[in-house]
């Protein structure tokens, strides 16, 4: 498959997973299999000694190091993306650092990346993550008018995905969200006039609850060109998370999973851990040690500090961690290699 002038041997993207879950180690292993590996730009420097003194600086250095690590592990194969959440404070500074580091693509969700082309047009592939036709139509209209371009590829993400979700809490709780296949069809329809204007077929990747080859084939039949997978990559030897996080995923049961509130301002999907339960009972609180990392977060009235909770999860701390995962994570029962996982999708039925 071609994405502009770049070649992706197999149409599978490993979803960006912050904090500390998809870094250079996982992304490089995925690239080596001819797929797109994705580093998360959400606090990649959280383990560095200089992080507390200057988080942004530590993160920018870490982006460079993780990109280099992924490239060297990839043996020259695959493509490398970096996931940058729209809610990140200093979005432009991060986008510029990602481009300088030499990523093939910037993939941006958790909000609408209306100004991504300001930083990345002509320098790297640009991909929004959206959960429906309305959002992508707005992005295409703005990019077309303001920047004379359209997305190089798109990730369509359903409410089954792990992490932050572009859906209303009420719709999630009442089962009123559209399926991934409906979202794919909606997006394909909405982007058509833009594809015609620019004479370019926008590759579309379905994400959220893609567990096996049958799910992947259903996405392709509905008009997607490939898939993005998150949760299953957590349970790989190469994943950058601690064994504690990986074991949480392998051990979780269907009844342990659900929707949680996040200071990012969007609902999120993950394990309803003891930390999440306590935060729910307590209600909002004041976070005193704030690293000022998210635009929508108000530290004086927030459910908890999401960054600290995700640092704890990455380290496998069951008491203090928030563990994101998709709705089908309970089906994961063992840790495999990245190659084994990708081969499962590559095998013809």
Positions that interact with ligand FMN (CB under 6 A): 15-18, 21, 40, 42, 83, 85, 109-110, 129, 157, 160-163, 207-210, 228-231, 324-326, 328
State the DSSP H helix or E strand holding residue 73, giving kind and residue range, or none if neither.
Answer: helix 55-74
Pick 133 or 208: Cβ nearer ligand FMN: 208
What angle separates helix 133-142 from helix 180-198, to the nearest 10 degrees?
20
Closest CB 332 distance from ligand FMN, rounded Å: 10
What DSSP state is assigned to residue 162? S
Closest CB to ligand FMN belongs to which residue? 230
Pick 133 or 209: Cβ nearer ligand FMN: 209
Nearest to 131 by CA among 161, 103, 105: 161
Residue 316 CB neighbours (<10 A)? 16
Pick 200 or 265: Cβ nearer ligand FMN: 265
Pick 18 or 133: Cβ nearer ligand FMN: 18
Establish how many alpha carbons lie within 13 A of residue 194's alpha carbon, considering only the half-sphere containing its beta carbon: 24
Phi, psi dihedrals of residue 302, rounded to the nearest 5°: -145, 150
Q: Give the C-alpha separation, 200 to 53, whole Å.
A: 46
Pick 158 or 302: Cβ nearer ligand FMN: 158
Burial-class residue 182 by CB neighbours within 10 Å (0-12, 13-18, 19+): middle
What DSSP state is assigned to residue 236? B
Q: Give the C-alpha separation, 229 to 216, whole Å.
A: 10
Q: Spell out the residues 6+ positions from residue 53 whose beta carbon is closer than 8 angstroms to its own.
A: none
Residue with tokens 């080596």: 32
Nearest to 342 by CA among 189, 172, 194, 216: 216
Closest CB 193 distance from ligand FMN, rounded Å: 26
Closest CB 274 distance from ligand FMN, rounded Å: 18
Phi, psi dihedrals of residue 346, rounded to the nearest 5°: -80, -25
Q: Give the C-alpha separation, 165 to 48, whole Å.
A: 29
Closest CB 209 distance from ligand FMN, rounded Å: 5
Pick 26 or 110: Cβ nearer ligand FMN: 110
Closest CB 221 distance from ligand FMN, rounded Å: 18
Pick 157 or 238: Cβ nearer ligand FMN: 157
Closest CB 154 distance from ligand FMN, rounded Å: 12
Pick 163 or 203: Cβ nearer ligand FMN: 163
Phi, psi dihedrals of residue 64, rounded to the nearest 5°: -60, -45
Closest CB 292 distance from ligand FMN, rounded Å: 18
Tokens of 25: 């180690």
Pick 78 or 109: Cβ nearer ligand FMN: 109
Q: Spell out the residues 6+ positions from residue 281 whose beta carbon is closer than 8 angstroms to its own.
A: none
Closest CB 211 distance from ligand FMN, rounded Å: 7
Closest CB 338 distance from ligand FMN, rounded Å: 14
């Amino acid at each position: 498959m071609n994405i502009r002038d770049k070649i992706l041997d197999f149409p599978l993207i490993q979803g960006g997973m912050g904090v500390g879950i998809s870094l250079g180690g996982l992304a490089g292993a995925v690239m080596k299999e001819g797929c797109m590996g994705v580093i998360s730009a959400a606090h990649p420097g959280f383990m560095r000694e200089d992080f507390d003194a200057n988080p942004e600086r530590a993160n920018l250095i870490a982006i460079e190091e993780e990109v280099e690590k992924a490239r060297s592990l990839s043996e020259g194969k695959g493509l490398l993306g970096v996931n940058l959440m729209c809610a990140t404070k200093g979005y432009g500074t991060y986008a510029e650092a990602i481009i300088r580091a030499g990523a093939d693509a910037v993939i941006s969700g958790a909000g609408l990346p209306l100004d991504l082309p300001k930083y990345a047009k002509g320098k790297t592939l640009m991909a929004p993550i959206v959960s429906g036709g309305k959002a992508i139509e707005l992005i295409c209209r703005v990019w077309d008018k303001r920047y004379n371009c359209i997305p190089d590829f798109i990730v369509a993400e359903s409410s089954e995905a792990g992490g932050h979700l572009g859906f209303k809490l009420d719709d999630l709780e009442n089962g009123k969200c559209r399926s991934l296949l409906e979202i794919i069809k909606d997006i394909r329809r909405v982007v058509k006039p833009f594809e015609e204007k620019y004479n370019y077929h926008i590759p579309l990747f379905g994400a959220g609850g893609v567990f096996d080859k049958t799910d992947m084939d259903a996405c392709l039949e509905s008009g997607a060109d490939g898939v993005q997978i998150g949760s299953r990559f957590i349970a790989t030897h190469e994943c950058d998370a601690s064994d504690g996080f990986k074991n949480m995923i392998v051990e979780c049961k269907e009844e342990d999973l659900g929707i949680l509130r996040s200071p990012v301002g969007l609902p999120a999907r993950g394990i309803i851990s003891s930390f999440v339960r306590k935060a729910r009972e307590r209600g909002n609180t004041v976070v005193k040690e704030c690293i000022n990392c998210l635009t929508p977060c108000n530290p004086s009235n927030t459910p908890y500090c999401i960054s600290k909770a995700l640092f704890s999860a990455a380290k496998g701390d069951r008491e203090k961690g928030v563990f994101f995962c998709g709705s089908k994570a309970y089906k994961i029962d063992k840790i495999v290699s990245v190659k084994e996982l990708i081969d499962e999708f590559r095998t013809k039925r």
